[in-house]
């Protein structure tokens, strides 16, 4: 039992860190440019497809990952310059409609190019096996994801909280006009943030590819989770995104693994087998509703 909890906690940490890669880009676009981007999940899906396709072509996971992430960054650049730039000043409804349209286009384009079947993406040979930590075995590849996630989280923190560019980004978020009049090119800054967010999406998609299936529609479910994360954390706050990701990742993973067992101890087997999975999948939404009820601006309001 203890081993199960430990293993599931690690899984939750790994899932949470991947969510953070998505949520970080989303919360910046959302918080700084005040733009609802429902197509963020599509960038994740397209990124995963880029990585899978490049990996197959190059026969190397690492080259594939690099090429895929670069490809997604280029795609992000094109989207920002042609479409999103026009959306920043528009109301939320227009943004919802436009990015909903992007989801339709992305899903169908992927289906047209790579077909409806899921793509296979294998983890690198060297990391395919398990490693022993503290008396039990854990997949090496999942450990790598945790390491990469932590490294990116640290890098992002340094970038946003400690660097000059990060200071500009935060200033642009707080007050665009004043920042511009201080001679900072906010427009270019926004483009850079968007491209960076797209690259992080592809990184998450590529890393998760070997664990989950690379398929059409993979972006939607994860998009909702990323939104839950940034709402819990407070829109526009990187720190909130990190805390929110870890909360959602662990609560979701542990809930799915443990709730059915726990309920079986409390309820008759029949009721438990129905209620367990249901309760496990709505747990994070309950959590979000509860947090919003008590803290309507999320845990770390960016503009408090």
Partner 1 sequence: MALYRAAPWQKPLSLALLLAALAVPTVLTALDQAFYIGFATRVLIFALAASSLNLVLGFGGMVSLGHAAFLGAGAYVAAICQQAGINEALIAFPLAMGVAGLFALVVGAVSLRTRGVYFIMITLAFAQMAYYLFVSARSWGGDDGLPLNGRMTLGGLPLASDDALFYAALLALVAAMALFGRLVDARFGRVLQAIRENETRMEALGYLVFRFRLVAFVLSGMGAGLAGALLANLTGLASPNLLQWTQSGTLLVMVIIGGVGYLYGGVVGAVVLLMLEEMLVGFTAHWHIVLGLLLLAVVLFAPRGVAALFGPTRGNDHG
Please report, as ranges, the residues that interact with partner 1 according to CB under 8 A. Answer: 30, 36, 38, 83, 86-87, 90, 92-94, 96-98, 100-105, 107-109, 111-112, 220, 224, 227-228, 231, 235, 273-274, 277-278, 281-282, 285-286, 288-289, 292-293, 296-298
Indicate the residue among 152 and 222 with the shorter CB distance to partner 1.
222
∠ at Cα 249 (244, 255), nearest 5°?
120
φ, ψ (nearest 5 deg) of residue 209: -50, -50
Q: Which two tokens stand for residue 262?
A: 């726990």
The DSSP element (H or E) to which 131 belongs, if any, is strand 130-133
Indicate the residue among 98 and 200 with the shorter CB distance to partner 1.
98
- Taking the complex as a whole, the smallest distance from the CB of residue 76 to partner 1 amounts, in Å, to 17
Q: What is the four-CA torsion angle of 196, 220, 121, 242, rounded to 10 degrees?
A: 50
- Taking the complex as a whole, the smallest distance from the CB of residue 299 to partner 1 amounts, in Å, to 13
Indicate the residue among 13 and 39 with the shorter CB distance to partner 1.
39
Indicate the residue among 198 and 235 with the shorter CB distance to partner 1.
235
Indicate the residue among 64 and 197 with the shorter CB distance to partner 1.
197
- Taking the complex as a whole, the smallest distance from the CB of residue 285 to partner 1 amounts, in Å, to 4
Q: What is the four-CA torsion angle of 79, 85, 89, 94, rounded to 10 degrees?
A: -20
Indicate the residue among 111 and 264 with the shorter CB distance to partner 1.
111
The separation between the first and the last C-alpha atoms of the chain, rounded to the nearest angstrom, is: 42
- Taking the complex as a whole, the smallest distance from the CB of residue 5 to partner 1 amounts, in Å, to 23
- What is the distance between the alpha carbons of residues 294 and 207, in angstroms, rounded to a whole number? 35
The distance of Cα 261 from the centroid of its chain, to the nearest Å, equals 29
- Taking the complex as a whole, the smallest distance from the CB of residue 97 to partner 1 amounts, in Å, to 5
- What is the distance between the alpha carbons of residues 166 and 149, in angstroms, rounded to a whole number? 19
- What is the distance between the alpha carbons of residues 140 and 180, in angstroms, rounded to a whole number? 47
- Taking the complex as a whole, the smallest distance from the CB of residue 293 to partner 1 amounts, in Å, to 6
The DSSP element (H or E) to which 282 belongs, if any, is helix 269-294
């Amino acid at each position: 039992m203890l081993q199960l909890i430990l293993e599931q906690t690690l899984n939750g940490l790994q899932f949470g860190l991947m969510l953070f890669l998505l949520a970080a880009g989303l919360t910046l676009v959302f918080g700084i440019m005040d733009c609802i981007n429902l197509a963020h999940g599509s960038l994740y899906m397209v990124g995963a497809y880029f990585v899978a396709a490049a990996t197959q072509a190059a026969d190397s996971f690492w080259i594939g990952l690099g090429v895929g992430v670069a490809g997604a960054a280029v795609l992000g650049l094109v989207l920002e310059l042609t479409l999103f730039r026009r959306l920043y000043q528009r109301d939320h409804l227009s943004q919802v409609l436009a990015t909903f349209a992007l989801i339709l286009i992305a899903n169908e384009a992927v289906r047209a190019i790579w077909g409806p079947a899921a793509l296979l993406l294998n983890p690198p040979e060297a990391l395919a096996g398990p490693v022993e930590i503290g008396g039990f075995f854990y997949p090496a590849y999942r450990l790598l994801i945790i390491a990469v996630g932590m490294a990116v989280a640290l890098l992002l923190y340094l970038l946003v909280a400690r660097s000059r560019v990060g200071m500009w980004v935060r200033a642009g978020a707080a007050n665009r006009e004043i920042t511009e009049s201080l001679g900072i090119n906010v427009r270019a800054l926004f483009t850079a943030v968007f491209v960076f967010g797209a690259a992080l999406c592809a990184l998450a998609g590529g890393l998760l590819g070997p664990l989950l299936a690379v398929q059409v529609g993979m972006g939607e479910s994860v998009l909702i989770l990323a939104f839950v994360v940034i709402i819990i954390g407070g829109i526009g706050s990187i720190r909130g995104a990190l805390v929110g990701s870890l909360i959602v990742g662990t609560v979701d993973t542990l809930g799915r693994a443990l709730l059915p067992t726990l309920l079986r101890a409390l309820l008759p087997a029949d009721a438990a087998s129905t209620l367990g999975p249901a309760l496990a999948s709505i747990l994070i939404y309950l959590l979000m509703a509860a947090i919003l009820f008590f803290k309507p601006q999320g845990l770390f309001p960016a503009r408090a």
